[in-house]
C-alpha cells in the first residue's frame, strides 16, 4: 500500500478528546437538537473547511444527522447530503432548513397551547403508543402516557410543516431525556423503570417548553449555504442533481457492529418510520455495517463477490473466521460495500476534488482490523492520489482503537 501515513503535531494527541465526538455538537445550536452517539464532531468539519478554502460544493454520502451539511451551510458552503435512513433524511432537512420569524413565533405559541392542554388534561388521554418491543423498559407507564398526550397534540395542531417539524424535534429530545435508556457505551442499558411517587407531568411539560425555547433560539440564526438532502444508497450514489463536487467530507459507519438503528429506534417508532422490528432489520441490512436483527442472521449465508481484493484483508478475515464465521463475513461485507462506494465516487468529483473520511479501526477477539489502512488501499486501487492517514484521537473503548482522518485527491 503506497500511501502517505501522516501524524501531524496537531492530530497526534492520543487522548480521548471529547471535543472531537458528538459531545461537541450538543453545545452547538442546531447541531445539538437530536443526539446520536456515533455522530462525529462538527469541529472536525469546521477544521477541514477552514483548511480547504476552495471547497464550494461538498458531498456527504453518509450524512447521518446532517453534521457536515449544517456546518457547510453555516459557513456559506453548499452541500449535498445522502443517507439510506428516511428518519435521518428528515432530521437533516429540518436541521438545515431556513425558518421565518412567523415560523418561530407560531412554534412557541403552539407549544404553549399544547403544554396547557396536557397539564389540564384537555382533549382526553392519548391511547396510542408506538409498538416498541418491551416499551416499558424505555418509559414508565405515567411518563409514557404524558409523552403520548404531547405527541397527540402535536399531530393535531393545524399549522405549517416547518412549525410541526420544530415541535417534533422538541418532542424527540423529550422522549430520550425522560427515558430509562443509556447510550453512553456500546451495549445499550436500561435503568429500572419504577413509577414515580410524584406527578411528573408538569416537569415533563416544562422540559418540553424548554426544548422548544432552545430550538427556536437556534433556528433563529439563519444559515446562508444551500443544502440538498436525498435518500440514496452510498454504494451506488444515485444523486438526483447533476452537480460535480469539489470536496467529500463524511464519516461512514464504523466496522464495529454499532448499528445506527440501535439508537434511532425510539425516534423512528414514534414518528412513524418504523412499525415493526423486522423493518429495522431490513433497513440495517441495506446499510453499510448494519447488524440489527435479521441483518445479522443473513450474514451467516452471505457470500462475498470479492469486490475488494486485498491480501491484508484476507489475513484479517481468516483470523476472525477461526472464532466466528458470521463476524468474518461481517468484515468482508463491510469492505466490499465500501469498495463499491469508492468505485462509484470518482465520476461525481471534479478533477482535483478532495476526500476527507473520518473513520475508526476495530477489533474482533484478538484481531485488529485496520480500517483506515483498508480505506487508503481502496482509494488507491480506484485511482485516487495523495492519500494520507492521520490519527485523530483515542476512542473510549479498547486501548487499540483510534479515530483517523483518511484523505485523498482525485
Which residue bears the cell 425516534?
Answer: 267
**CATH 3.40.50.150 region(s) of the chain?**
4-98+223-409
- Whole-angstrom distance, CA of residue 60 vs CA of residue 57: 10
**Which residues, 6 or more positions from 119, have their beta carbon under 8 angstroms from its beta carbon?**
201, 202, 205
Q: Which H helix or E strand runs over 183? A: none
pLDDT of amino acid 186: 52
Tens-binned pLDDT, residue by residue, of the chain (410 aa): 455 554 443 444 455 455 545 566 566 789 989 877 766 788 889 999 999 988 999 999 999 999 999 999 999 999 999 999 999 999 999 999 999 999 999 999 999 999 999 988 865 566 799 999 889 999 999 999 999 999 999 999 999 999 999 999 999 999 999 999 876 555 567 776 666 667 799 999 999 999 999 999 999 998 999 999 999 999 999 888 777 899 999 999 999 877 778 889 999 999 999 999 899 999 999 999 888 788 888 999 999 988 899 999 999 999 999 999 999 999 999 999 999 999 999 999 999 999 999 999 999 999 999 999 999 999 999 999 999 999 988 877 677 889 999 999 99
- Whole-angstrom distance, CA of residue 89 vs CA of residue 229: 6
Cell of 103: 415560523
The secondary structure of 284-330, three-state, reads: HHHCCCCCCCHHHHHHCCCCCCCCCCCHHHHHHHHHHHCCCHHHHHH
Q: What share of the chain is helix, strand, coil (3-state, %, to 5)?
A: 45, 15, 40
Contact 370, 361 (CB under 8 A): yes
pLDDT of amino acid 7: 40
Instruction: List the end-to-end C-alpha distance of the chain, in Å, as a whole number.
Output: 17
Q: How many residues does the chain have?
A: 410
pLDDT of amino acid 143: 93
- Whole-angstrom distance, CA of residue 135 vs CA of residue 299: 28
- Whole-angstrom distance, CA of residue 356 vs CA of residue 333: 22
Cell of 195: 413509577
Distances (CA, A) of 359 to 39, 40, 182, 193: 11, 9, 24, 36
Q: Which of 353, 371, 268 is closest to 310 using CA atoms? A: 371
pLDDT of amino acid 214: 95
pLDDT of amino acid 11: 41
CATH number of 4-98+223-409: 3.40.50.150
- Whole-angstrom distance, CA of residue 83 vs CA of residue 158: 30
pLDDT of amino acid 24: 61
Q: Which H helix or E strand runs over 351? A: strand 349-360
Cell of 188: 445499550
291 φ/ψ angles, rounded to the nearest 5 degrees: -140, 35
393 - beta bridge partners?
403
The pTM is what? 0.90
pLDDT of amino acid 5: 57
- Whole-angstrom distance, CA of residue 251 vs CA of residue 375: 12
220 φ/ψ angles, rounded to the nearest 5 degrees: -75, -20
Contact 289, 253 (CB under 8 A): yes
- Whole-angstrom distance, CA of residue 202 vs CA of residue 115: 9
Amino acid at each position: 500500500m503506497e500511501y502517505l501515513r501522516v501524524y501531524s503535531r496537531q492530530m497526534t494527541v492520543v487522548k480521548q478528546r471529547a471535543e472531537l465526538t458528538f459531545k461537541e455538537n450538543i453545545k452547538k445550536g442546531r447541531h445539538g437538537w437530536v443526539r446520536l452517539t456515533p455522530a462525529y464532531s462538527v469541529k472536525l468539519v469546521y477544521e477541514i473547511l477552514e483548511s480547504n478554502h476552495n471547497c464550494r460544493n461538498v458531498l456527504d454520502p453518509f450524512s447521518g444527522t446532517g453534521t457536515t451539511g449544517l456546518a457547510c451551510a453555516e459557513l456559506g458552503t453548499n452541500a449535498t447530503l445522502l443517507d439510506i435512513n428516511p428518519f435521518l433524511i428528515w432530521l437533516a432537512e429540518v436541521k438545515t432548513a431556513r425558518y421565518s420569524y412567523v415560523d418561530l413565533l407560531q412554534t412557541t405559541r403552539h407549544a404553549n397551547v399544547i403544554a396547557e392542554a396536557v397539564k389540564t388534561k384537555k382533549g382526553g388521554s392519548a391511547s396510542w403508543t408506538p409498538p416498541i418491543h418491551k416499551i416499558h423498559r424505555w418509559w414508565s407507564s405515567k411518563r409514557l402516557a404524558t409523552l403520548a398526550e404531547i405527541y397527540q397534540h402535536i399531530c393535531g395542531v393545524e399549522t405549517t410543516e416547518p412549525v410541526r417539524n420544530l415541535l417534533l424535534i422538541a418532542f424527540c429530545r423529550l422522549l430520550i431525556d425522560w427515558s430509562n435508556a443509556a447510550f453512553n457505551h456500546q451495549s445499550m442499558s436500561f435503568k429500572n423503570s419504577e413509577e414515580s411517587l410524584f406527578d411528573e407531568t408538569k416537569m415533563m411539560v416544562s422540559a418540553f417548553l424548554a426544548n422548544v425555547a432552545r430550538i427556536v433560539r437556534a433556528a433563529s440564526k439563519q444559515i446562508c449555504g444551500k443544502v440538498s438532502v436525498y435518500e440514496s444508497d452510498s454504494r451506488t450514489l444515485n444523486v438526483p442533481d447533476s452537480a460535480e463536487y469539489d470536496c467529500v467530507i463524511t464519516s461512514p459507519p464504523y466496522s464495529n457492529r454499532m448499528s445506527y438503528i440501535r439508537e434511532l429506534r425510539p425516534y423512528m417508532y414514534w414518528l412513524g418510520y418504523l412499525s415493526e422490528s423486522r423493518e429495522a432489520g431490513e433497513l440495517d441490512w441495506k446499510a453499510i455495517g448494519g447488524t440489527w436483527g435479521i441483518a445479522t442472521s443473513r450474514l451467516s449465508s452471505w457470500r462475498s463477490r470479492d469486490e475488494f481484493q486485498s491480501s491484508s484483508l484476507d489475513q484479517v478475515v481468516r483470523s476472525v473466521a477461526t472464532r466466528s464465521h458470521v463476524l468474518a463475513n461481517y468484515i468482508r461485507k463491510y469492505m466490499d460495500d465500501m469498495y463499491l462506494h469508492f468505485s462509484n465516487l470518482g465520476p461525481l468529483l471534479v478533477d482535483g476534488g478532495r476526500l476527507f473520511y473520518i473513520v475508526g479501526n476495530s477489533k474482533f477477539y484478538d484481531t485488529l482490523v485496520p480500517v483506515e489502512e483498508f480505506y487508503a488501499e481502496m482509494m488507491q486501487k480506484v485511482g485516487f492520489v495523495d492519500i494520507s492517514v492521520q490519527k485523530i484521537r483515542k476512542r473510549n473503548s479498547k486501548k487499540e482503537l483510534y479515530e483517523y482522518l483518511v484523505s485523498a485527491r482525485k
